[in-house]
Structure 1
Amino acid sequence: MTKDYRYVGHRAAHAIIAEIGPYRVSSDALQAINQFIDELVLQLLSTSLSLDLSRIKLALFSIIPSSLGKNAIVEAELEVKTFTETEPIDYEAYERMRLLGVDSPFPMDRIIPLVRYSCLDYCTLADKDEDENEKSNSQPKDDIISPILVIYLTTIIEHVAEYLLTTIGRMAENQATDNIRVKEVFWALSDDSQVGELFHRFALREHLES
Structure 2
Amino acid sequence: MNYNNMSKEKLIEILIQKDNMLEKLRAENEELNYWANIDAMTGVLNKKSGLEVLEREFELSNNSMDNLVICFIDVDGLKIVNDTFGHKEGDKLLINITKILKESIRKTDFVIRMGGDEFLVVFPQMTIKEVNNVLERVLVLLDEINNANEKYNLSISYGFYQYERETKKELTINELIKRADAEMYKMKREKRRNYTKNVEKYKC
| TM-score between both structures, scaled by the size of structure 2 | 0.31
Q: Greater share of strand residues, 1 or 2? A: 2
Normalising by structure 1, report the TM-score.
Answer: 0.30
Give the structure with higher Rg (CA). Answer: 2
The structure in which a higher percent of residues are helix is 1
